[in-house]
Amino acid sequence: MPKQTSAARRTSIAGLLAATSLTLALSGCATYDVTAPADARADAPAAAVQAKDAQLAAAKGAKNEDGKNGDGRNGDAKRSQGGGQATGPGGAGDVDCRKAKCVALTFDAGPSENTPRLLDILKKEKVHATFFMLGENHVDKRPAEVKRIDAEGHELANHTWSHQILTDIEPAEAERELSRVQDAVRKITGKTPRLMRPPQGRTDEEVSKISKDLGLAQVLWSVTAKDYQTNDSALITKRVLEQTERDGIILLHDIYKGTVPAVPGILKELKKRGYTVVTVSQLLSPAKAEPGMVYRP
């Protein structure tokens, strides 16, 4: 059963997402529990905390051993391949977001023709991201990109089949919007997404129930460049950096041509400011995202 959040953690969706405030005002204020990454980590089960600590200790020991053998760089590569997590400066292979200054990087609505270039950048920078993918004309048309996203250690996530607003359609249709992506990604990669982002961030009790039944946690965001409004890469970079704080979740879209060129500058400055860029699941660790729950900084 998902944990109940405290009253202090309860918040109204109205005002959380500036991009959808007008729509929400028209449809009424849906209220639901939102869990922040720091709260999720603090409430992680003792067994998960012990397992995380043991994993970090083992990784530290292996790194020290590699250093003694003069093979530190090779050791990092092996661990990266085995765990699907980047290591090195700014990487998240051995990251502990309970101590590190973490921020999650996420991309919505792909894959697209821009995704291969984005993956090249992330690989060069040793950074992993979470990809909330659309099914229609994206996952179904670009299985090679989906495979590469997975193979290079990024997190596969669900952004519905055709970007319908889940709170505006019948429950059965909302279930199909999510389950079709689950099935398509599983067919391509053998893995089933555990995270989903509702279009426009709009969710309610019924969407939460459907998500829980499908094994999906809901992930909103705290940073948006509104890159759907501009192709100005410098402006996109500026907006992201102005909003980013520890435990933030950055929302970008790899479908717009101004976004991918902004990524190198964003990553460079985030690292300069002491951030470790991680996936959503790494941000929540040692907690695991619980199906049906809504996560937002």
Q: Are 259 and 229 in contact (CB under 8 A)?
A: no
Q: Are 77 and 84 in contact (CB under 8 A)?
A: no
CB neighbours of 137 closer than 8 A, spacing ≥ 6?
Answer: none
Catalytic residues: 108, 253
CA distance 181 to 132: 10
- How many distinct helices (H) and strands (E) make up the chain? 11, 11
> What are the start-end ranges of the E strands in 128-212?
130-133, 155-158, 195-196
Residue 12 phi, psi dihedral angles, 5° rounding: -85, 145
In three-state secondary structure terms, 127 is coil
Residues in the chain: 297
| Helix boundaries (H) for 126-170 | 143-151
CB neighbours of 273 closer than 8 A, spacing ≥ 6?
Answer: none
> What are the start-end ranges of the E strands in the chain?
10-12, 31-35, 102-108, 130-133, 155-158, 195-196, 217-219, 223-224, 248-253, 276-278, 294-295
CA distance 167 to 165: 6
